[in-house]
Amino acid sequence: MIQPSSQVLVRSEIKVGFEEIIGQDLVLESLKRTIKSGEIGHAYLFSGPAGSGKKTLALLFAQALNCRNDLKNPCQQCLSCRKILSGNHPDLYIIKPQGASLKIGQLREVKDSLYLLAVEGRKKICIIYDAELLTLPAANSLLKILEEPPQDLVFILLTARLWDLPPTVVSRCTHFTLTPLPGEKMKQILGKYDFSLPEEREIIIALAGGNPGKGLEMASRGGWENKYKEAFLLVKSIEDGPAEDIFLKAEEFSRRDDLQEFLELLLLIYRDRLVLKLSSQENVLINSLIQPDNKGRVESSASTGKILVKEEDQKNTFFLEKICRALMQLQGELHHNINLRLAMEVLFLKMRGAV
């Protein structure tokens, strides 16, 4: 089924061409060279995690292939660029999963149109979201089209799970991987947000893992400093508070909708403590809410009213590393159907040093 693309094209922030994509210089250079050369392939594959910019890049590529003003960078001004942006270009097709898969019927629905010449643009573009969800018959149908592709047709497949795509499809595509961005680039992307505390930005950068979409989404939600504080106080309470509270807290936290994020915050805290033990270097800490003094001890930051950690960390590196591992393991298990309450009890008991 052809989806009205306006839903995904509500991107009023697009004002520029490929410069909008930050930190993927190699990919952009290669795409620009392709466009300039005029030797356009019939199938491209953009892979990278959700939020890495695949959809944005696909639309920019579609615009560039049809822009009337520029040969390698979409102008955003011409009728073609604007139509693609608004989802009204007659040569743009966007296919998204129906339910849990991309079905052969969805390809059949557009197949005849794809064999017709482009109506307005130089190229017909067919963007397939979540291409890993192509059913086997749908993937075979796509391969059939690619065996004898219409001259002006360009497929752009997007996937966050490259490994789930049939190798026969991958091998037919020119493949570009969107890599995680380094911290400096993430800072640049988050620059437009006015954080009340710079630490909040650092926390987001750490949690987003180089994923610009995730970082922007987290920044728009806000409140990360408070969440971090809550996680920090939980750690203190589990490690030093009354033992009987552990089970109550395990039940309470197992019900949280944001458990995955909360576990990531806990991981940041233990990771920072481990780093402090090993190096005492403030600049390698993910956040600066916990700061070592000039003797390498964790010092309070009372002047800013932040979390106070006056005493030197009593836990050894073995313990801190063990908790980091336990947190990472639990994060991986959350997607499976595990008993959350039991899992949180075990985690908290480990944090307590009881197991």
* Binding interface with Zn ion (CB under 5 A): 67, 69, 75, 78, 81
Cβ neighbours of residue 130 closer than 8 Å, sequence gap 6 or more: 96, 97, 102, 158, 159, 160
**Tokens 């930050």 appear where?**
22
CB of 59 to Zn ion, least distance (A): 12
CB of 77 to Zn ion, least distance (A): 6
Q: In what order do the strands lie in the sheet with 174-177?
A: 92-95, 124-128, 153-159, 43-47, 174-177
CB of 69 to Zn ion, least distance (A): 5
CB of 70 to Zn ion, least distance (A): 6
The nearer residue to Zn ion, 66 or 106, going by C-beta atoms, is 66
CB of 9 to Zn ion, least distance (A): 15
**Tokens 């298990």 appear where?**
333
The nearer residue to Zn ion, 67 or 102, going by C-beta atoms, is 67
Full DSSP string of 251-318: HHHHT-TTHHHHHHHHHHHHHHHHHHHHH--GGGSS-SSSEE-TTS-EE--GGGT-----SPP-S-HH
The nearer residue to Zn ion, 89 or 273, going by C-beta atoms, is 89
CB of 299 to Zn ion, least distance (A): 55
For residue 32 the two structure tokens come to: 């620009």
As a whole number of angstroms, the distance between CA 207 and CA 269 comes to 12
The nearer residue to Zn ion, 14 or 162, going by C-beta atoms, is 14
The nearer residue to Zn ion, 77 or 151, going by C-beta atoms, is 77
Query: How wide is the angle at C-alpha 302 spanned by C-alphas 301 and 305, nearest 5°?
Result: 100
Query: How wide is the angle at C-alpha 33 spanned by C-alphas 28 and 38, nearest 5°?
Result: 130
As a whole number of angstroms, the distance between CA 136 and CA 166 comes to 8
The nearer residue to Zn ion, 69 or 98, going by C-beta atoms, is 69
